[in-house]
Chain A
Amino acid sequence: MTFFRPAFRHPDLPPNAAGFHRRDYEGGLSTLCAGCGHDSICNAIIDACFELALPPHRIAKLSGIGCSSKTPAYFLGRSHGFNSVHGRMPSIATGANMANRDLIYLGVSGDGDTASIGMGQFVHAARRNLNMTYIVMNNGCYGLTKGQFSATADKGSKSKQGNVNLLESIDLCELAIQLGAGFVARSFSGDKAQLVPLIKAGLSHHGLSFIDVISPCVTFNNNPESTKSYHWVREHSEATGTFDFVPFRQTITADYADDTVQEVVLHDSSVIHLHKHPNGPDITDRRQAIDNLEDHKEQGVILTGVLYVNPDSQDTHDILQTSVRPLNSLTEADLCPGAQALEAVNTAHR
């Protein structure tokens, strides 16, 4: 257990626009190791949902298996949760989303859960552009089984025991962009200022929002030679640019110089303002986004921030042309063709 949460809250803490307090978005006590990056991500999720004033009971939180997948117990205690089987969160999320398109789906996974055992499910959820936010808590190793390298561990990265990873690493963000995810971002559990607005933007995007969060494993993979350690990431990361996320309810007041701001309007009219280098890549262009990632990788730099956005993306329901009503709300009258129609079917089979 990493901390004890004080029961006392300041009585004057203001509620959000929906009348909920921050504690309405909290969950049970974490059982992760003290200092685990995942706990910071949980707090960022809580902040993001609170600030967006999402009704907690309209969120469904889903996960697979692993340290990361335990975390849905530690946030959004008033949301239904589903801790499924290893690597299979995307299929559960797909089914849940098909059943009720009106809820908000937040999937949490790890690098083992997504990049190895669940790779098939991850890439196909991205292909379907399922309307959900998919967060990977990425520490480059398997924590629950004591520190084996995962498929996102960088080649040459060294573990605490001194083992060197000899295999190529998988860049989940690059894959997600290739596969058609509509919103792709990378962040660092130690950078709350960036992570919270990223999650907010992800939750507001229509389609699959993929957020890869580097989240050091303090117990097994936080040694100086590990490229997923706090120290390494702080030294070797570069943001695509600072950015503001403006939810659709708020009025935009700030003025920006045109040549440094890229504005992306999301499906729900929320806006992302990206303050970037004047000649920086266009984040709505898939090729530029991938080149940008590769260029930084060549320089040994981890690129963070919004990597790619497709504001016009079509989600699975759009693609399948399903009813605008949640399918789980349809009744017998909507679904059963009745005895007379069946008699016509019989006749056609004589």
Chain B
Amino acid sequence: MKPLNRINDFVVSFATINGSGSASANNLFAKVVFRLGVPVSPKNIFPSNIQGLPTWYEVRVSEQGYVGRRGDVDLMVAVNGQTLRRDYDSVVSGGYFVYDSSKPLPEDFQRDDVVTIGIPMTRLVTEAIDKPKMRPLLRNIVYVGGLAALLDMEPDPFVDALNSQYRKNVQLAEPNIQALQLGYTYVRQHYPDTCRLKVQPRDRTGDAIMMDGNTAMALGAIYGGATVVGWYPITPSTSIIEAFGRYVQKFRLEEDGRCKAAIVQAEDELAAIGIVIGATWNGARAFTATSGPGISLMTEFLGLAYFAEIPAVVIDVQRAGPSTGMPTRTQQSDLLACAYASHGDTKHPLLFPGDPRECFEMTAAAFDYADRLQTPVIVLSDLDLGMNDHFSPPLAWDPQHRYDRGKVLDAEQLDALTERWGRYRDVDGDGICFRTYPGTHPDKGVYFTRGTSRDEYSAYTEDSGAYTRNMQRLLKKWETAKEVLPKPEITVARKDARVGVIFYGSTTPVAREVIDQLHRRGCPINSMRIRAFPFQQEVWDFIRTHELVIVIEQNRDGQMRTLLINEGDVPPQTLLSVVHYNGLPIAGRELIVTLEETLAAHGLVVAAMSNETGGVS
């Protein structure tokens, strides 16, 4: 057996039990790697449960900056007896298996292609730590210390991180540091030079940050000027609202302690979106955050907002469906449900952020788009993007940016009007009409909002002509939306490349890595990252100029492909679907195999590449 021998390019997995405090220990490891200047990507693979079930925390270390999920495990830290066998089997050939040797491994654990490293974690903490209550938590720190020694990392950055983590609770720092040293020393003594995976300090992180998408979206809502929130708890979106609440306390308190935001926990998602629509109708910026089941409940109201032309920002952090599905697993499977949410002829602008920075920017911008277009705008994130920390460019805010409140008439403008105002009269041809907020003017600008059909002056009518004119105008507004929304990001590897790949959202880092890889192997592929719906001309041009277009997405039915075929003049056979939908974040090693097969089926054979690196190939 040849043990894996790599620097800053491998995957570590921590197999633990949820609710046992392992998350913060695992996070400590990822954070220190990041602070050593090496790009890193932690992913929490967790069950829909509070305590006692198996959970994994995968950390990909990638000096090259590939921070999508790779797949496979090079080094397993197995501290969950329930999954020991499975964890042992899942280590790649040549990999390392670290376990708690306070109990011997079962006799049938006899792989000869894996380096087995036993650290008596439980015994070490039992001997050294007086307080029995603290032992389970500190056992987690013992394996972090052991891992540091195995990977040739200095203990100092870990000590620094612990000190800063417990700066408000200094008496906790000491036992943590002690536990770290226990693991570190034990490995140094018993397993010197055993592991050939190394973390070495680099300067590859620049000004990047480590942040989860949900936090970034909460900040986006703060910066975008949201003041009213209607919400109902649902995984994996809840932490957006929690973070928003924390940032309200930090940034939005008045001197008397009152806050410049109303966060209303509603009785259900029907009410949550109703609160948003009531607030935006009344001139505030408002949003809700939910997941698939919530979107289902919100659809009736989304249709009202579409037809009555009321702005709304909805964040959908997608999880695996249908129905309750797998609440703590990721997917991109609400696309069609969101694009055409509600009965009747409805469609809604969608945004597809690809990293936390874009989560921030697009959420903030969504308020401008919703106000400008007077319609609901849905920002589609997913559990992987929303709840995992991501290596991301820093968040940026342009101080010159001013909120675009769209076409709203104030009292002065109403007084200056020379012709009769109509709430649903398009005076300048973009399909968007001027609105007023309640209470603006004593006798001008009043109208009655309704989901029933009405004429240009918002008077109830069932007249076919008035109804059809209105529906046509909404289509014109749909065209305007294409100019307002962000364009796709197109990367041209070679002008004459025959193959184009389309992806969006959290698939982005994996897709980019795989495309790089195929390019290096002599198969140039152009790519397009879709950032918004409705699709702009650039999308159709990209598809038209490639012989084969592969749409990579994380759902079973190829929903983006369906949307493209439905919305454009695209021959269905030119769009090939590559999907991943098992609930785990899409992984590069699986994706490249599927892509190779798809290309081979169309006569494009990609040269093989030696597997010396830890990358996807």
A positions within 8 Å CB-CB of B:
55-58, 60, 62, 72-73, 77-85, 88, 90-100, 102-103, 120-121, 123-124, 128, 316-317, 320-324, 327-328, 330, 332, 334-339, 341-343, 345-346, 349-350
Q: Which one, B101-109, B391-399, B465-473, B527-535, is touching chain A?
A: B391-399
A99 is contacted by which of B208, B227, B267 (Cβ under 8 Å)? B227
Between-chain CB contacts (< 8 Å), 16 pairs: A60-B438, A77-B446, A83-B449, A90-B271, A94-B230, A94-B278, A95-B264, A100-B282, A120-B268, A121-B267, A320-B259, A322-B258, A328-B282, A335-B222, A336-B223, A345-B395
CA distance A241 to B526 in the complex (A): 81
- Smallest Cβ-Cβ distance to B392: which chain A residue: A349
Complex contact B267–A346 (CB within 8 A) = no
Complex contact B260–A330 (CB within 8 A) = yes
Task: Say how far B605's CB is from chain A's closest CB, in angstroms.
Answer: 44
Interface check B554, CB cutoff 8 A: no
Q: Could you tell me which residues of chain B, from 424 to 446, have a CB within 8 Å of some CB in chain A?
A: 436-443, 446
Considering residues A91, A324, A338, which has the most beta carbons from chain B within 10 angstroms of its beta carbon? A91
Considering residues B223, B227, B263, B301, which has the most beta carbons from chain A within 10 angstroms of its beta carbon? B227
- A sample of 10 more A-B contacts (CB under 8 A), given A83-B450, A342-B223, A349-B210, is A79-B438, A81-B449, A85-B301, A92-B274, A94-B264, A98-B284, A316-B262, A320-B264, A335-B222, A337-B251
CA distance A289 to B225 in the complex (A): 44
Interface check B544, CB cutoff 8 A: no
CA distance A332 to B223 in the complex (A): 9
Complex contact A58–B266 (CB within 8 A) = no
B positions within 8 Å CB-CB of A:
34-35, 207-211, 219, 222-223, 225, 227-228, 230, 251-252, 254, 256-264, 266-268, 270-284, 286, 300-301, 304, 394-399, 402-403, 436-443, 446-452, 460
Complex contact A322–B211 (CB within 8 A) = no
Q: Evaluate whether A80 and B261 lie within 8 angstroms (CB atoms) in the complex, with A99-B228, A121-B270, A330-B227 already known.
A: no
Complex contact B396–A342 (CB within 8 A) = yes
Complex contact A73–B460 (CB within 8 A) = yes
Task: Say how far A320's CB is from chain B's closest CB, in angstroms.
Answer: 5
CA distance A341 to B276 in the complex (A): 27
Task: Say how far B195's CB is from chain A's closest CB, in angstroms.
Answer: 27
CA distance A80 to B438 in the complex (A): 5
Complex contact A57–B271 (CB within 8 A) = no
B271 is contacted by which of A62, A94, A97, A98 (Cβ under 8 Å)? A94
Complex contact A95–B274 (CB within 8 A) = yes
Complex contact A91–B275 (CB within 8 A) = yes
Q: Evaluate whether A124 and B266 lie within 8 angstroms (CB atoms) in the complex, with A58-B439, A330-B260 already known.
A: yes
CA distance A78 to B441 in the complex (A): 10
Task: Say how far A333's CB is from chain B's closest CB, in angstroms.
Answer: 10
CA distance A334 to B284 in the complex (A): 13
Complex contact A96–B281 (CB within 8 A) = yes
Complex contact B397–A338 (CB within 8 A) = yes
Task: Say how far B521's CB is from chain A's closest CB, in angstroms.
Answer: 35
Task: Say how far A120's CB is from chain B's closest CB, in angstroms.
Answer: 5
* Residues of chain B with a CB closer than 8 A to A72's CB: 448
Complex contact B460–A328 (CB within 8 A) = no
Complex contact A92–B258 (CB within 8 A) = no
Q: Evaluate whether A78 and B450 lie within 8 angstroms (CB atoms) in the complex, with A94-B278, A350-B35 already known.
A: no
Task: Say how far A188's CB is from chain B's closest CB, in angstroms.
Answer: 28
- Smallest Cβ-Cβ distance to B437: which chain A residue: A328
* Residues of chain A with a CB closer than 8 A to B300's CB: 85
Complex contact B210–A332 (CB within 8 A) = no
Complex contact B304–A339 (CB within 8 A) = no
Complex contact A342–B260 (CB within 8 A) = no
Considering residues B268, B280, B397, which has the most beta carbons from chain A within 10 angstroms of its beta carbon? B397
- Smallest Cβ-Cβ distance to A127: which chain B residue: B267
CA distance A102 to B402 in the complex (A): 26
Q: Evaluate whether A322 and B441 lie within 8 angstroms (CB atoms) in the complex, with A82-B281, A85-B300, A336-B225 already known.
A: no
- Smallest Cβ-Cβ distance to A83: which chain B residue: B450
Task: Say how far B191's CB is from chain A's closest CB, in angstroms.
Answer: 32
* Residues of chain A with a CB closer than 8 A to B268's CB: 120
Complex contact A327–B227 (CB within 8 A) = yes
Complex contact A95–B228 (CB within 8 A) = yes
Complex contact B225–A102 (CB within 8 A) = no
Complex contact B279–A124 (CB within 8 A) = no
B442 is contacted by which of A57, A81, A332, A335 (Cβ under 8 Å)? A57
Complex contact B264–A128 (CB within 8 A) = yes
Task: Say how far A17's CB is from chain B's closest CB, in angstroms.
Answer: 15
A323 is contacted by which of B259, B301, B441, B450 (Cβ under 8 Å)? B259
Complex contact B274–A335 (CB within 8 A) = no
CA distance A80 to B442 in the complex (A): 11
CA distance A334 to B451 in the complex (A): 33
Complex contact B209–A317 (CB within 8 A) = no
Q: Evaluate whether A98 and B258 lie within 8 angstroms (CB atoms) in the complex, with A103-B439, A121-B271 already known.
A: no
CA distance A195 to B271 in the complex (A): 30
CA distance A97 to B271 in the complex (A): 14
Complex contact A95–B278 (CB within 8 A) = yes
Task: Say how far A212's CB is from chain B's closest CB, in angstroms.
Answer: 21
* Residues of chain B with a CB closer than 8 A to A322's CB: 258-262
* Residues of chain B with a CB closer than 8 A to A99's CB: 227-228, 278-284, 286
Task: Say how far A124's CB is from chain B's closest CB, in angstroms.
Answer: 4
* Residues of chain A with a CB closer than 8 A to B399's CB: 338-339
Q: Evaluate whether A96 and B267 lie within 8 angstroms (CB atoms) in the complex, with A82-B449, A327-B262 already known.
A: no
Task: Say how far B524's CB is from chain A's closest CB, in angstroms.
Answer: 35
* Residues of chain A with a CB closer than 8 A to B443's CB: 57, 78
Complex contact A96–B282 (CB within 8 A) = yes
B262 is contacted by which of A58, A83, A317 (Cβ under 8 Å)? A317
- Smallest Cβ-Cβ distance to A103: which chain B residue: B439
* Residues of chain A with a CB closer than 8 A to B402's CB: 332
CA distance A142 to B35 in the complex (A): 66
Task: Say how far B340's CB is from chain A's closest CB, in angstroms.
Answer: 18
* Residues of chain A with a CB closer than 8 A to B225's CB: 330, 332, 335-336
Q: Evaluate whether A91 and B266 lie within 8 angstroms (CB atoms) in the complex, with A327-B228, A335-B227, A339-B399 already known.
A: yes
* Residues of chain B with a CB closer than 8 A to A339's CB: 396-399
CA distance A57 to B441 in the complex (A): 7
Complex contact A328–B446 (CB within 8 A) = no
Task: Say how far B32's CB is from chain A's closest CB, in angstroms.
Answer: 12
Task: Say how far B520's CB is from chain A's closest CB, in angstroms.
Answer: 31
Complex contact B280–A95 (CB within 8 A) = yes
CA distance A324 to B256 in the complex (A): 10
CA distance A98 to B264 in the complex (A): 9
Complex contact A84–B304 (CB within 8 A) = yes
Complex contact A345–B219 (CB within 8 A) = yes
Complex contact A98–B228 (CB within 8 A) = yes
- Smallest Cβ-Cβ distance to A336: which chain B residue: B223
* Residues of chain A with a CB closer than 8 A to B267's CB: 120-121, 123-124
Complex contact B270–A91 (CB within 8 A) = yes
* Residues of chain A with a CB closer than 8 A to B230's CB: 91, 94-95
CA distance A95 to B283 in the complex (A): 10
* Residues of chain B with a CB closer than 8 A to A345's CB: 219, 395
Task: Say how far B493's CB is from chain A's closest CB, in angstroms.
Answer: 32
* Residues of chain B with a CB closer than 8 A to A323's CB: 254, 258-260
Complex contact B209–A346 (CB within 8 A) = yes
A337 is contacted by which of B222, B281, B283, B449 (Cβ under 8 Å)? B222
Complex contact A91–B262 (CB within 8 A) = no
Complex contact B271–A124 (CB within 8 A) = yes
Complex contact A121–B274 (CB within 8 A) = yes
Complex contact A88–B271 (CB within 8 A) = yes
CA distance A93 to B264 in the complex (A): 12
B439 is contacted by which of A90, A100, A334, A346 (Cβ under 8 Å)? A100
* Residues of chain B with a CB closer than 8 A to A338's CB: 397, 399
Task: Say how far A328's CB is from chain B's closest CB, in angstroms.
Answer: 4
Complex contact B261–A88 (CB within 8 A) = no
Task: Say how far B368's CB is from chain A's closest CB, in angstroms.
Answer: 11
CA distance A332 to B364 in the complex (A): 12
- Smallest Cβ-Cβ distance to A104: which chain B residue: B439
CA distance A92 to B278 in the complex (A): 4
CA distance A345 to B35 in the complex (A): 16
Complex contact B449–A80 (CB within 8 A) = yes
